[in-house]
Structure 1
C-alpha cells in the first residue's frame, strides 16, 4: 500500500508475516502462486498497452494491481477488526479463509480486460479472468468449491465498475480499493503527455492516502492534498465508488489540504 511508511498502523504492503484479523494461511499460499504465474504476470504487463501506450491513460498494469490488492487486503483487515460481515463466501457455503482469497484474486484480475480495450474493460475482464480462474482455482479447491469461488471472484471483478452494484462485501472492497490508487505519481504518464484535464490535475494534487482504524467507523481513509484540485478526485471519483458499495457506513473519508504556503480555498472535506 502507499500509506505513510512512518505510520505503523498503515503498512505500505500486505505482509504475510504480520498478524491479521483473519485466517491468512490459504491467502498466502495463493498469493505466492499467482505472483509467480507467467500467464497472470504477462496479462498485468500487457493490459497497460491500451491504457498507457495507446490512450495515455493512468497506469493500469502491474503497479496498479499491486496497489489495489494491497489496499483491498488492508481494507478487509480493518473491516474484519470492526466485525463487518462478509457475505460472499459465507452465502456460498465457503469458509472464512476464502474471503481474503476472493478479494486477492479479484484485485489481481479486475483489469485484465484492458488487453481488449480500455472502454468497457470490466466486461471484457470477465471471460478472460474466468479462463485464468479455471486453471488456478483447482490448485486449491475441489470442483464444487471452484465453481462457487469463481462466481464470487467474477462478481467482484464486474462490480468494480460503477455501473454495477456489488451484492457482497468482498465486491464492495474491490470497488473502493480500486478508487484509492490516486496519488500524484499515479497520474504521471498522462501529465507528461500534456494532459491537463481535471482528472489528471486533481490526481496530481493528492500527496498521500492512508488507511487506519477509525473512531466512529471500522475504517478511516485520510487523504493529504497539496491544493484544492484534489477535491475532484475525492468528491467525484472516490465518492462515486463508495456510493452503493455497501460500505458507506463502514468507511469514513477525510481529505486535508496540507499546503500552508497560501490562502486555502479548501482546508478539509469529509465523506
Structure 2
C-alpha cells in the first residue's frame, strides 16, 4: 500500500465499525492506493494546476483528503438513514456505494493532466480506461456489473466541477467533499511560491474542518476560521457545491471566525 499522507481530521480505517457494508471497499482500496498508474496521474495532475496555473494543490494530498472526507460524509449520512440511489438504480448492491465514492474521489481530478480548464470532462476518458482495467481484477464484478459501476463513478466525476447537477447522492457526496478540502494545507504550494489570489488567501484563513453527527440533520460540518477571508471558501465555494448536490437537507454547515472582534456578527459566524 502507498505511504499515507495524513489527512486532517479523519482517515478511513478499514478495521473500524461503519454504518455501511465495507467488505468490497476494503478489498478494492488497497489496490487503488498502490496502483502505479493512478499514483503517477495524481502527481502529474498538479503540474498544470499548480506549477503552470498557480492554483491550490490538486495532487495526491488533495485526493487523499477528498477521499477520506467523502467516506466520512457517506458514513455519517448512512448513520442518519439517508438512502442512496446510484448503485441501487443500477441494480448493484449497497456494498458498491462506498466503492463508487472512493473511486470517484480518487480519479475526479486526473483531467488536469490535459488542462485545468474543463478538467472534469477530460477526466472522463482517462478514468474510464483505468476503471476498465481496475474493476476487471475483482471477482465480485462481472462484465455487466463493472460497466454499471463504471457508469456511476464517471457520473460522480463529471458532476464534481461542472454545471451538470448530480443525479445520485453518491455524486453529491463527491461534489461536496471536494469543497471540504479547504484548510490551510490546501494552499501550501502556491502560497509558498508567492501566490496571493483569493483562493490561496481564503484557504490560509481556514484553520480546521470537522464532520460530526448533527442534531436534526445527519451531518454537521464545523469550520474554524482565523480571519474574514475564509468567508470566500465557505460562502462562494462550499455553498455553491452544496447547492443542488442532493445533500442540502442532510448537511448543516457552521463556520466560526475565532479571531473576530467582539460584536462583529458579519464575520463572526456563518451558517448554511
Q: TM-score range by the shorter chain?
A: over 0.9
Q: Which of 8, 17, 24 is the aligned partner of 1:2?
A: 8
TM-superposed deviation, 1:262: 7.3
Matched, 1:46 2:54: no
Pair 1:262–1:196, CA change in 2 (3 A): farther
In the alignment, what sits opposite 2:270? 269
Give the whole-Å Cα distance in 1 for the aligned partners of 2:34 and 2:188.
28
Structure 2: which 5+ runs fail to align? Answer: 1-6
Tell me the distance in 2 between the aligned counterparts of 1:65 and 1:196: 23
Q: Which residue of 1 aligns with 2:134?
A: 136
SS of 1:266 mapped into structure 2: helix
Q: Assess if the C-alpha contact under 8 Å between 2:260 and 2:268 holds in 1.
A: no
Is this contact kept in 2: 1:162–1:240, CA < 8 A?
no
TM-score w.r.t. the length of structure 1 is 0.94
Determine the structure 1 residue equivalent to 2:175: 175
CA distance in 2, matches of 1:262, 1:51: 39
CA deviations over 1:210-256 (Å, ceiling 9, x no partner): 00000010000000000111111100000000001000000000001
Length-normalised TM-score, structure 2: 0.94
> Is the 1:59–1:186 Cα contact (8 Å) retained in structure 2?
yes
1:152 corresponding residue in structure 2? 152
How do 1:105-116 and structure 2 match up within 5 A?
105-116=103-114
Deviation beyond 4 Å, 4+ runs, structure 1:
260-265
1:23 and 2:60 aligned: no
Q: Helix, strand or coil: the match of 2:267?
A: coil
Write the distance in 2 (CA, Å) between the matches of 1:263 and 1:55: 39
Alpha-carbon offset, residue 194 of structure 1: 2.5
Unaligned runs of 5+ in 1: 4-11
RMSD across aligned positions (CA): 1.3
Tell me how far apart the structure 2 counterparts of residues 49 and 266 of structure 1 sit (CA, whole Å). 35
